[in-house]
Amino acid sequence: MDKTIFQKGKTIISPSRFGVRNFQNRLFFLVVLIFALITISMVFLIIGTLVMKGFRQINWSFFTQVPPDTFDAMMAKTSGHLIPGGILNGITGTLFLVGMASIIAIPFGIIIGIYLYENGSKRYANMIRDIADVLQGVPSIVVGLIVYLWVVVDITDGYSALAGGVALAIMMLPLIIRSTEESMKMVPVTLKEAAIALGTPYYKVILRVLIPSSFSGLMTGVLIAVSRVLGETAPLLLTTLGNPAVNWNLVKPVSAVPLLIWQFYNDPNMVDLIWSSSLFLMGFVLLLNILSKWIAARHSIQ
């Protein structure tokens, strides 16, 4: 016999027969909660450690100067001062490389994504989709090796920013293709039909209805791809190597923040700089994430 008690709209079933099930229910959700908390606390621990260890090193010169040479760093350390200099060459290098990679990868990625959207499940399209998935799974160091062969040896005859840009573009491409196709699929079919019923030629339907309507999804895909390659180190080690100075020349080596972190790590005098650099990188990635969510919220089709 169930005794159901109605209390302000809530139905309470008396626990006599359901005691064990109730307890199991609660235990399950408790376990889920604990796992969730552990996962979330990882993020806070990472950010907390970086902030605590790197915060002191962040000042104006962090953003405006290049790293010191190892002797100056040693002098500063032994006298207890903060290490002078900053990571300007890394910041400009990262912006240069990611900017170049975006200019290469975005047009290709979006056009291929549109092709896949249009041709759905045909054989050729399926093949391209599978190849893009394989490309996404290629280890980043292998991408670096291949680009080393194609660009560093064949084109620029030496480590260069161009090689780094190409390597990052190859890594961004599958992400942009995927997210473009998925965003366009989410545009309601009725919008496409409305445009076609008005006599619009199909390429205009794509350019003036489909792309503007899926714009926030496209933007998000690009930002995700960018935040993925911001921290890539392995391919850059094999293609741009690094540069103690700021460099905007395509055919010369260029630095990047992850490369600098690696260099600081390997130099006992500059080790302290790894924390501030990592904090900067994380902050940038976080910023991009927030930006992409903000864009998605603003432009969403209800």
- Residue ranges that bind other proteins, judged by CB under 8 A: 188, 190-191, 193-201, 204-205, 208-209, 212-213, 215, 301-302
| Residue in 149, 144, 140, 138 with CA at minimum distance from that of residue 164 | 144
Written as six digits, the tokens of 56 are: 């002191």
Q: Which is nearer to other proteins, 57 or 213 (CB)?
A: 213
d(CA 256, CA 247): 10
d(CA 236, CA 262): 11
CB of 159 to other proteins, least distance (A): 45
CB of 208 to other proteins, least distance (A): 6
CB of 120 to other proteins, least distance (A): 9
Identify the DSSP state of 138.
S
Asked if 215 and 299 touch (Cβ cutoff 8 Å), the reply is yes
Q: Which is nearer to other proteins, 168 or 184 (CB)?
A: 184
Q: Which is nearer to other proteins, 19 or 212 (CB)?
A: 212
d(CA 131, CA 136): 9
The CA–CA distances, whole Å, from 22 to 25, 27, 29, 60 equal: 5, 9, 11, 58
Q: Which is nearer to other proteins, 4 or 302 (CB)?
A: 302
Q: Which is nearer to other proteins, 27 or 194 (CB)?
A: 194
Written as six digits, the tokens of 112 are: 């291929």
CB of 114 to other proteins, least distance (A): 17
Q: Which is nearer to other proteins, 39 or 302 (CB)?
A: 302
CB of 105 to other proteins, least distance (A): 25
Q: Name the packing angle between helices 273-298 and 215-230 (round to 10°).
A: 170
d(CA 261, CA 64): 17
CB of 190 to other proteins, least distance (A): 4
β-strand partners of 5: 12
